[in-house]
Structure 1
Amino acid sequence: MSRLMESDPPDRVLTVPNLLSVVRLALIPVFIYALMVAHANGWAVAILMFSGASDWADGKIARTLNQSSRLGVLLDPAVDRLYMITVPVVLAFDGIVPWWFVATLLVRDGLLAACLPLLRSRGLSALPVTYIGKAATFALMSGFPLVLLGTWDALWSRVIGACGWGFLIWGLYAYLWAFALYAVQMTLVLRRMPKVAGGRA
């Protein structure tokens, strides 16, 4: 439990990781327009590839260049959650991924969201992001563009699509595994941390 919550990061806004998170956030409506309205699948793939790579890069930069921040701790996982809702739902509407896959992701995120009031009652705003959770998000964000590339009528497309589904299946498994780890952390918080008046530390 001593390692559950780390010391607070600096209170700063203008960092490279935060900029990457803001760009990823701004690209969400662009992705929806590209795929659902303009039917520009190539641009949609490019947006997803950039988003997956930048999601990895912002964490790496934050650690390597000591650019972590309170805003980044909240913004990066929030943008990840938005992508994990928006991208599969849009792909399901386009018939690229099945709805059961989307429902599994949404139920998992919904259960995590339901835990927020309990965390706030202990003076916490969120649980620490785990490496398996980051790896799961990266696998899913890598798999979605590959599956989208698999929609072309060519052999190379079908091969890439199969690889994409490999990423998605592994990513879904890791996503559920990360949820189990969060459940353990949540149990420790509820058992070992007293309630805070007003839900604030």
Structure 2
Amino acid sequence: MSDSPDRAERSASGGTTAAVGDRVLTLPNLISFVRLVGVPLFLYLFLVVRADVAAIVVLAIGGTSDWVDGWIARRLHQVSRLGELLDPLADRLYILATLLAFTAREVVPWQFTGALLARELLLLGSLAVLRRYGYGPPPVHYVGKTATFLLLAAFPILLLAAAAPGAATVAGAIGWGLAWWGLVLYWVAGAMYVVQATRLVRAMRARSGGAPA
């Protein structure tokens, strides 16, 4: 999180220390597009044809490759505005689609799904307030990235535990350990975003005399 309101404002409005371009046809963006295609493919394999093994493979590749597009973008100096939108979008869609599919087939309880969806609603409310005051979404925090990685790593392991009774004990323990830690950090990151949004709104109100931008 930003150490001061001015730094937070620059971050929330899209300012970063790395150069951000307008290119669309880049390798990181292509990886992000492929990850997005994996979402409906996973849903089809898991819910329609019940091909659990193939669904595990798609979910594992799509989830654990979360860091690849960002790493390549920085390595090849191909950071783009589109990529900054696609990367968190792919992560969020994987989490939401997997949760809804797992809940439908009773791989995870609805309470777990509800806890994650409640955090998403909280974040959407914060983003709506920021947009009202002329700010874009805040940059993804490392706590949020860690939470996302834990959740996306947990899901294929939980699916393995449900699809392979022989591995249920070990895979279930590992999967739920990752899932619960991911849930806790997901909410911690959400709280940090809310605090940052509150600081930005207060700073704007102080400068404008209380009237929204």
Q: In structure 1, how many angstroms separate the alpha carbons of the residues matched to 2:93 and 2:204?
A: 29
Please point out which of 150, 153, 167 is paired with 2:165: 153
- Structure 1 runs (4+) deviating above 6 angstroms are none
Range moving further from structure 2, 92-101 or 70-79: 70-79
| TM-score (norm: length of structure 2) | 0.86
Shift of 1:198: 10
Residue of structure 2 aligned with 1:115, choices 96, 117, 126: 126
Kept in 1: contact 2:63–2:94 (CA 8 A): no
| Structure 1 segment 136-175 matched on structure 2, within 5 A | 136-151=147-162, 152-154=164-166, 156-175=167-186
Report the counterpart of residue 3 of structure 1 in structure 2. 7
* Counterpart AA for 2:121: G
CA distance in 1 between counterparts of 2:89 and 2:35 reads: 11
* Structure 2 letter corresponding to 1:177: V
Length-normalised TM-score, structure 1: 0.91
Distance 1:120 1:158 in 2: 46
Q: SS at the partner of 2:165?
A: coil
Counterpart CA distance in 1 for 2:76 and 2:169 is 40
Letter matched to residue 124 of structure 1:
Y
- Give 2:23's aligned residue: 12
Letter in 1 for 2:126: C
1:176 maps to: 187
Q: How many Å apart are 1:115 and its aligned residue?
A: 2.1
Task: Quote the offset at 1:121 in angstroms.
Answer: 2.1
Structure 1 residue 51, shift from structure 2 partner? 1.1
Shift of 1:110: 1.0
Instruction: For residues 136-182 of structure 1, give each alpha carbon's deviation from its aligned partner in whole angstroms, at most 9, with x where no partner exists.
Output: 0010000000000001121x342122101111011001101101110
| 2:140 match: secondary structure | coil
* 2:187 alignment partner AA: L
User: Counterparts in 2 of 1:47-126, with a 5 A limit?
Assistant: 47-126=58-137
Distance in 2 (alpha carbons) for counterparts of 1:136 and 1:16: 25
Question: Using a 3 Å threshold, how does the CA distance of structure 1 residues 198 and 67 change in structure 2: closer, same or farther?
Answer: farther
Contact in 1 for aligned 2:29/2:69 (Cα 8 Å): yes
CA RMSD of aligned residues (A): 1.8
Give percent identity, aligned residues only: 45
Partner-residue secondary structure (3-state), 1:150? helix
Give, in whole Å, the separation in 2 of the partners of 1:170 and 1:117.
27
Q: Deviations over 1:25-74 (max 9, x none)?
A: 11111111111111111111111111122211112112222221101111
What residue in structure 1 maps to residue 38 of structure 2? 27
> Partners in 2 of 1:117 and 1:146 — Cα distance?
34
How many Å apart are 1:83 and its aligned residue?
Answer: 1.6
* Deviation for aligned residue 1:112: 0.9
Task: Letter of the 1:46 partner, please give it.
Answer: V
- 2:145 alignment counterpart: 134
- How many residue pairs are counted as aligned between the two chains? 197
Deviation at 1:14, TM superposition (A): 1.4
